[in-house]
């Protein structure tokens, strides 16, 4: 444990794909740390995540006004830059960890707050271990973040509640559109959503249906093997029974043999392989086999950056995990990830907790089978019970002249102290 009670600086970094609320976690970290000047000195943020530490590019967040830091709570994306950069294992590449500790040492950084998913938790753990080895103890705390909701142990991941709300509301709105036009126009609508490995995001669309006549009529989960014949039968039945069919498809939808629908080998007119798109693939099937007029939308980044429709619950939790990370660090906790612990479903109650970070690292949480209906196309009441509280409440950003007011940071990088460079 970090027994040395002298004032140390803190380093915060964002990792991996960003969310609508990861900056709310940053806000929680910074606002809380600013209240403890007697224990935490400077609060640095990594420029482009962990690369900022490796390259010794540290943003001085003390230069940002309270107002701008507060605006982070309503600003999507990663305000300091994030990175898809996974540090290798100790055996393969110790020098990255050594470099991190050198940079931390040079800037008297005793607290490492790493805001990311499973990979990042692995990094946070190793940083703490390397600090011990190099006799420069680092208090390393993981702050959960992922729209995919695939971290274990924590009840949910900040970022997920907002994307879930966006997908549920968008599906409901688009379904009303399709329903009203179906008599003479589009009969099948497909919405492609994120979730390469787990179907949590697609599942959220199911929150709007109260019975099997209501959309979405078909949800495609990565957890359930895609069966083309059965799928087309269900599409046809929905159009015949309901007049239309709304399909929400995970980008990770796959055949029994593991092959992604999105990797179907579509080629453009030059013969180049075209990547991705489970929606166009499904649309082509429907057109060729059933002949129905279709439309499709691909939500892509719109879904994970849709701060304008964030879940109030999610924003609160994102802030809370940032705040708790600092508070736990000040209580000499180390090598933990902050969690959201559910106390009850209805009324929904939760608190922040923590877990040994080693239990989280590189450990994905799939949708439980009991959350998916027996035919594999809908969600169950158990799933709704779990998920409805997560989309509860609206936390709108403030607007000026019709546009949201997002934080505008200076993001000033401080002078380097090390002579050596580390090029990533």
CB neighbours of 198 closer than 8 A, spacing ≥ 6? 148, 149, 150, 222, 223, 252, 364, 365, 366, 367
Partners of 109 in the β-ladder: 9
Name the one residue in this structure whose structure tokens are 């992922």. Answer: 146
What minimum distance in Å lies between the beta carbon of 275 and a copy of itself?
8
Pure H helices in 107-199: 118-133, 160-181
Give the integer Cα–Cα distance in Å for 411 and 46.
10
What minimum distance in Å lies between the beta carbon of 214 and a copy of itself?
11
Q: Going along 175-265, which residue ranges are E strands?
A: 188-193, 218-220, 245-250
Which of these ranges, 38-46, 273-281, 333-341, 374-382, lies near a copy of itself under the rule CB under 8 A?
Answer: 273-281
Residue 281 touching a copy of itself (CB under 8 A) = yes
Give the integer Cα–Cα distance in Å for 293 and 188.
6
**Contacts with a copy of itself in 211-240 (CB under 8 A)?**
none
**How far is the CA of 230 from the CAs of 99, 217, 251, 284, 342, in angstroms?**
54, 13, 19, 16, 37
Instruction: Please count the residues of this chain forming the interface with a copy of itself, following the rule CB under 8 A.
Output: 82
The residue among 237 and 259 lying less far from a copy of itself, judged by its C-beta, is 259
Which of 264, 278, 318, 329 binds a copy of itself (CB under 8 A)? It is 264
The residue among 244 and 376 lying less far from a copy of itself, judged by its C-beta, is 244
Which of 301, 332, 370, 412 binds a copy of itself (CB under 8 A)? It is 301
**Contacts with a copy of itself in 354-373 (CB under 8 A)?**
none
**In what helix (H) or strand (E) does residue 383 lie, and over which residues does it extend?**
helix 381-387
The residue among 331 and 385 lying less far from a copy of itself, judged by its C-beta, is 385
Residue 380 touching a copy of itself (CB under 8 A) = no
Sheet order of strands, 139-144 included: 58-60, 40-46, 8-14, 109-116, 139-144, 336-344, 349-356
The residue among 41 and 277 lying less far from a copy of itself, judged by its C-beta, is 277
Supply 84's token pair.
Answer: 């898809």
**Contacts with a copy of itself in 32-61 (CB under 8 A)?**
48, 51
Give the integer Cα–Cα distance in Å for 169 and 155.
22
Alpha-carbon Rg for the chain, nearest whole angstrom, is 23
Per-residue contact flags (x/-) with a copy of itself for residues 82 to 111, judged by CB under 8 A: xxxx--------------------------
**Contacts with a copy of itself in 384-403 (CB under 8 A)?**
388, 391-394, 396, 399, 401-403
What minimum distance in Å lies between the beta carbon of 366 and a copy of itself?
24
Residue 248 touching a copy of itself (CB under 8 A) = no
Q: What is the dihedral of CA 266, 271, 272, 276, to 10 degrees?
A: -10
The residue among 258 and 265 lying less far from a copy of itself, judged by its C-beta, is 265
Supply 67's token pair.
Answer: 């107002």
Which of 2, 11, 17, 340 binds a copy of itself (CB under 8 A)? It is 17
Taking each helix axis from N to C terminus, what angle separates 278-289 and 228-242, rounded to the nearest 10 degrees? 70
Reduce the DSSP state of residue 72 to 3 states and report it: helix
- Counting Cα atoms < 13 Å in the Cβ hemisphere of 163 gives 33
Pure H helices in 261-311: 278-289, 300-304
**Contacts with a copy of itself in 116-175 (CB under 8 A)?**
165, 168-170, 172-175
- Active-site choice (60, 66, 122, 148): 148
Structural contact between residues 200 and 151, judged by C-beta atoms closer than 8 angstroms = no
The residue among 290 and 366 lying less far from a copy of itself, judged by its C-beta, is 290
The residue among 130 and 279 lying less far from a copy of itself, judged by its C-beta, is 279
Closest CA to 127 of 101, 108, 107: 101
Active site residue 268: no
Which of these ranges, 119-127, 212-220, 223-231, 282-290, lies near a copy of itself under the rule CB under 8 A?
Answer: 282-290
The residue among 152 and 393 lying less far from a copy of itself, judged by its C-beta, is 393
Which of 63, 106, 212, 302 binds a copy of itself (CB under 8 A)? It is 302
What minimum distance in Å lies between the beta carbon of 419 and a copy of itself?
24
Q: Any idea what DSSP says for residue 8?
A: E
The residue among 384 and 416 lying less far from a copy of itself, judged by its C-beta, is 384
Name the one residue in this structure whose structure tokens are 């729209």. Answer: 147
**Contacts with a copy of itself in 187-216 (CB under 8 A)?**
189, 191, 207-208
Which of these ranges, 5-13, 76-84, 117-125, 212-220, lies near a copy of itself under the rule CB under 8 A?
Answer: 76-84
Which of these ranges, 34-42, 101-109, 150-158, 183-191, lies near a copy of itself under the rule CB under 8 A?
Answer: 183-191
CB neighbours of 370 closer than 8 A, spacing ≥ 6? 380, 382, 383
Residues with a catalytic annotation lie at 148
């Amino acid at each position: 444990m970090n027994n040395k009670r002298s004032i140390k600086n803190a380093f915060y970094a964002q990792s991996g794909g960003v969310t609508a609320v990861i900056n709310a976690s940053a806000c929680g970290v910074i606002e809380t740390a600013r209240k403890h000047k007697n224990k935490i000195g400077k609060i640095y943020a990594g420029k482009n995540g962990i690369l900022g530490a490796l390259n010794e590019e540290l943003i001085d967040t003390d230069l940002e006004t309270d107002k701008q830091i507060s605006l982070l709570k309503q600003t999507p994306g990663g305000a300091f830059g994030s990175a898809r950069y996974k540090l290798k294992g100790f055996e393969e590449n110790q020098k990255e960890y050594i470099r991190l500790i050198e940079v931390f040492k040079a800037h008297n950084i005793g607290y490492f707050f790493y805001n990311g998913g499973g990979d990042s938790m692995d990094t946070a753990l190793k940083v703490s271990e390397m600090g011990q080895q190099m006799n420069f103890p680092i208090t390393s705390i993981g702050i959960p973040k992922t729209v995919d909701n695939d971290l274990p142990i924590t009840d949910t991941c900040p970022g997920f509640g907002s994307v879930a709300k966006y997908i549920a509301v968008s599906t409901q709105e688009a379904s009303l559109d399709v329903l009203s036009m179906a008599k003479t126009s589009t009969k099948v609508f497909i919405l492609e959503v994120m979730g390469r490995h787990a179907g949590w995001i697609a599942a959220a669309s199911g929150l709007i249906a109260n019975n099997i006549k209501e959309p979405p009529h078909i949800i495609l989960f990565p957890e359930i093997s895609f069966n083309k014949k059965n799928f087309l039968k269900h599409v046809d039945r929905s159009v015949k029974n309901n007049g239309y069919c709304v399909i929400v498809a995970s980008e990770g939808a796959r055949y029994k043999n593991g092959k992604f629908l999105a990797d179907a080998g579509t080629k453009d007119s030059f013969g180049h392989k075209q990547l991705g798109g489970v929606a166009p693939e499904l649309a082509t099937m429907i057109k060729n086999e059933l002949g129905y007029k279709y439309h499709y939308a691909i939500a892509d980044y719109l879904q994970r950056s849709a701060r304008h429709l964030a879940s109030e619950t999610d924003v609160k939790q994102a802030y809370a995990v940032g705040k708790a990370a600092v508070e736990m660090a000040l209580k000499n906790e180390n090598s933990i990830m902050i969690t959201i612990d559910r106390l009850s479903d209805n009324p929904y109650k939760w608190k922040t907790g923590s877990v040994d970070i080693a239990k989280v690292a590189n450990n994905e949480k799939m949708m439980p089978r009991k959350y998916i209906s027996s035919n594999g196309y809908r969600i169950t009441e158990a799933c709704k019970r779990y998920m409805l509280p997560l989309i509860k409440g609206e936390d709108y950003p403030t607007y000026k002249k019709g546009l949201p007011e997002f934080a505008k940071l200076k993001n000033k990088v401080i002078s380097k102290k090390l002579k050596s460079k580390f090029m990533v």
